């Protein structure tokens, strides 16, 4: 969890305010963003995760927009697009710094990860989740246990708890800290590091009193880039994963029912 991240607190406050305004728009005004489209569609709005493959839907409304290398975002409510653009740019800069540190921790040059993934033209997804109060929160989930696609997920919340991570086999609350950003390690980082940096299993639980909003930015490789363990790491060890184009992994993940780390298991070598 980062508390000294260099992103203005008032920018985050505006982002949360506009995100709430978007979700409060009448259904008719959000229909143009309805999610009956490809996972790579520039802007999508819907409920749950992927209703087409789910047997049980989750207690969650979402907005998803691809914000890099091309910036896409709803034109309403007024001012939302501009706030989202500024925030997404700052998050990319922060993600780049984190990847430099991770590269160095692996004994590699600081630019190793973002050059091998073509991060400067990498795919960024901006996700706004809204979890309304649930009458029976113990019988439902906002999102089930899963790991994320991409390299790093950077998340901020509106002060309402609900995020949990799995640690030593137990679910642990990630309580909101004012002006902080939670960093979640994702699948392609686990692949690149050949298992040294494990993607974090996490889930969203509910409450029956308050609406929780989380803003999640998924920062990944370039869509057309083939991602496998870094060659420098394989000089002394065997690969744990097979290579796969990021766009193929992305589509597979988005069309698969969320369930633990099942998409990553598909490319893990025995």
Q: What is the pLDDT of residues 168-227, one digit of tens each?
A: 999 999 998 888 999 999 999 999 999 999 999 999 999 999 999 999 999 999 999 999
The partner residues of 45 in beta bridges, in order of sequence, read 34, 63
How far, in Å, are 4, 94, 147, 224, 262 from residue 265 at the CA level? 35, 29, 11, 21, 5
> How many Cβ atoms sit within 10 Å of the Cβ of residue 30?
17
- pLDDT(56) > 60: no
Whether this model's pTM surpasses 0.85: yes
**Could you tell me the pLDDT band of residue 53, with boundaries at 50, 70 and 90?**
very low
pLDDT tens-digit map of 80-125: 999 999 999 999 999 999 999 999 999 999 999 999 999 999 999 9
| Superfamily of domain 9-265, CATH level 4 | B-lactam Antibiotic, Isopenicillin N Synthase; Chain (2.60.120.330)
pLDDT, tens digit, for every residue of 116-173?
999 999 999 999 999 989 888 877 778 888 899 999 999 999 999 999 999 999 999 9
Q: What is the mean pLDDT of the chain?
A: 89
């Amino acid at each position: 969890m980062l508390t000294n991240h260099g992103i203005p607190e008032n920018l985050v406050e505006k982002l949360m305010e506009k995100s709430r305004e978007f979700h409060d728009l009448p259904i008719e005004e959000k229909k143009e963003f309805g999610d009956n489209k490809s996972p790579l569609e520039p802007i999508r709005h819907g409920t749950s995760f992927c209703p087409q493959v789910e047997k049980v839907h989750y207690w969650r409304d979402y907005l998803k927009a691809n914000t890099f290398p091309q910036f896409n975002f709803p034109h309403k409510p007024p001012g939302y697009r501009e706030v989202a653009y500024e925030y997404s740019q700052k998050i990319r800069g922060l993600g780049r710094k984190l990847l430099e540190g991770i590269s160095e921790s692996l004994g590699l040059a600081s630019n190793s990860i973002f050059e091998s993934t073509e991060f400067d033209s990498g795919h960024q997804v901006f996700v706004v989740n809204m979890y309304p109060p649930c009458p029976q929160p113990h019988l439902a989930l906002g999102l089930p246990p899963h790991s994320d696609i991409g390299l790093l997920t950077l998340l901020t919340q509106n002060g309402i708890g609900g995020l949990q991570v799995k640690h030593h086999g137990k679910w642990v609350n990630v309580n909101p800290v004012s002006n902080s950003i939670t960093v979640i390690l994702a699948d392609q980082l686990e692949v690149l590091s050949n298992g040294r940096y494990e993607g974090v299993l996490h889930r969203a639980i509910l409450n029956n009193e308050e609406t929780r909003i989380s803003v999640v930015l998924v920062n990944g490789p370039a869509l057309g880039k083939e991602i496998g363990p870094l060659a420098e790491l394989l000089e002394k060890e065997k690969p744990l994963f097979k290579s796969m184009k990021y766009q193929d992994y992305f589509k597979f993940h988005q069309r698969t029912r969320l369930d633990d780390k099942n998409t990553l298991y598909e490319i893990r070598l025995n």
